């Protein structure tokens, strides 16, 4: 069975962009692939310096995956930091990645562009991410568009390793851009934890409605609604509604008595239909951190032998005791 793998950073509670761009597609893939879904806490450490938040967001992400339908008996769910073998592989890979490739890294360039003084963790972010992927011989990596470059680094270094050390030692992964590669946030830009434009996944219905009503539409409530298509409300709606429902919204928006406020109400109801049933499950799971710890630790125990086997091949190939 082929393997699919993806990670989410516990740098905040997951938002709708994470759900539509990563969680939902990854869970769909899990029907065909052996799936590895992990919490990238060491990646979060590049920007998060608050132990209480790190813990809380880790449980938020774990409970989100489980509430969205992940069955921990068949899908491997684990913390990145529970399988420290990843660092041994990261070092080996770092020795094969040119600094020039890391200098072209999007996260690193972004930090520089914002005038920040990026830490070495941000610079070497793609190295650790390549190790995350290669450690488990992943075939496909479902991610949003923003992560494509990172998966390319993983591909490049696996190919280089095999070329340099001779043979098919490392598996070469492939990115799979998901059906929602760039979910817009309430301000129309990419929904992101670092911008204040997220639609929370499991906030109470009232809060969810409030945020949906904040979506920027650029037109008067009842006038000047030119085209639904391409608007943020439409972009979000088509990810949670059927084709006929989307067409119905387009039609309605051409009517003089149906404005953006109405369209947002329709969007809110569709989101509530998708997320509402999972909210209670999420709340129950999130309330039991000890149980979440058990699930995550069991996941790590299950994947560790795979990590060790990859390292055995790698150590042998580079001339160390395997």
User: Which lies closer to ligand ADP via its Cβ, residue 126 or residue 144?
Assistant: 144
Number of shown-chain residues binding ligand TRP (CB under 6 A)? 13
User: Which lies closer to ligand ADP via its Cβ, residue 194 or residue 210?
Assistant: 194
Q: What is the DSSP string of 258-280?
A: --HHHHHHHHHHHHHHHHHHHHH
Q: Considering only CA atoms, which of 83, 76, 67 is closest in space to residue 288?
A: 67
Q: Which of 133, 180, 270, 295 binds ligand ADP (CB under 6 A)?
A: 180
By the rule CB under 6 A, 76 interacts with ligand TRP? no
Closest distance of CB 286 from ligand ADP, Å:
18
Burial, 175: exposed, middle or buried (Cβ in 10 Å; 0-12, 13-18, 19+)? buried
Residue 43 contact among ligand ADP, ligand TRP, none, beta carbon within 5 to 8 Å by kind: ligand TRP
Q: Which of 3, 24, 193, 225 binds ligand ADP (CB under 6 A)?
A: 193
Pair 69, 29: CB distance under 8 Å: no
Contacts of 207 (CB under 8 A, 6+ apart): 200
CB atoms < 10 A from the CB of 49, how many?
8
By the rule CB under 6 A, 17 interacts with ligand ADP? yes
How far, in Å, are 12, 211, 234, 264 from residue 253 at the CA level? 35, 21, 10, 11
Q: How many CA atoms lie within 13 A of 29 on its CB side?
A: 28
Residue 133 contact among ligand TRP, ligand ADP, none, beta carbon within 5 to 8 Å by kind: ligand TRP
d(CA 15, CA 134): 27
By the rule CB under 6 A, 6 interacts with ligand TRP? yes
Pair 156, 150: CB distance under 8 Å: no
Contact letters (x/-) for ligand ADP, 130-169, by CB under 6 A? Answer: -------------xx-xx----------------------
Residue 4 contact among ligand ADP, ligand TRP, none, beta carbon within 5 to 8 Å by kind: none
By the rule CB under 6 A, 9 interacts with ligand TRP? yes
Closest distance of CB 6 from ligand TRP, Å:
4
Q: Report DSSP state, residue 232.
A: H
In the chain, DSSP assigns E strands to 3-8, 34-39, 76-79, 140-143, 174-177
By the rule CB under 6 A, 23 interacts with ligand TRP? no
User: Which lies closer to ligand ADP via its Cβ, residue 66 or residue 96?
Assistant: 66
The residue with its CB nearest to ligand ADP is: 21
Q: Which of 21, 72, 105, 173 binds ligand ADP (CB under 6 A)?
A: 21
By the rule CB under 6 A, 176 interacts with ligand ADP? no
Catalog residues that contact ligand ADP under the rule CB under 6 A: 6, 8-9, 11, 17-18, 21-22, 143-144, 146-147, 180-183, 190-194
């Amino acid at each position: 069975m082929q393997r699919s793998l993806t990670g989410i950073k516990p740098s905040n509670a997951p938002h709708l962009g994470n759900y539509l761009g990563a969680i939902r597609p990854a869970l769909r893939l899990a029907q065909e692939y052996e799936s590895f879904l992990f919490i990238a806490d060491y990646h979060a450490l590049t920007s998060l310096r608050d132990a209480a938040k790190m813990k809380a967001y880790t449980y938020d992400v774990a409970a989100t995956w489980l509430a969205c339908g992940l069955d921990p008996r068949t899908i491997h769910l684990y913390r990145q930091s529970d399988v420290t073998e990843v660092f041994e592989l990261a070092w080996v890979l770092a020795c094969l990645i040119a600094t020039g490739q890391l200098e072209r890294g999007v996260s690193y360039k972004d930090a520089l562009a914002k005038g920040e003084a990026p830490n070495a963790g941000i610079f070497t972010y793609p190295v650790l991410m390549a190790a995350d992927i290669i450690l488990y011989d992943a075939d496909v990596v479902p991610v949003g568009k923003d992560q494509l470059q990172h998966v390319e680094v993983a591909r490049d270094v696996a190919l280089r390793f095999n070329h340099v050390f001779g043979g098919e030692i490392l598996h070469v992964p492939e990115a799979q851009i998901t059906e929602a590669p760039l979910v817009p946030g309430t301000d129309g830009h990419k929904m992101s934890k670092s911008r204040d434009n997220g639609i929370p996944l499991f906030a109470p219905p009232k809060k969810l409605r409030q945020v949906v009503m904040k979506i920027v539409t650029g037109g008067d409530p009842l006038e000047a609604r030119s085209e639904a298509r391409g608007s943020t409300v439409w972009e979000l709606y088509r990810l949670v509604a059927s084709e006929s429902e989307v067409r119905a919204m387009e039609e309605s928006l051409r009517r003089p008595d149906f404005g953006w406020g109405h369209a947002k109400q329709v969007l809110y109801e569709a989101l509530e239909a998708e997320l509402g049933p999972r909210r209670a499950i999420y709340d129950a799971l999130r309330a039991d951190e000890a149980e979440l710890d058990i699930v995550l630790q069991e996941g790590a125990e299950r994947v560790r032998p795979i990590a060790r086997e990859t390292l055995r091949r790698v150590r042998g190939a580079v001339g160390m005791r395997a």
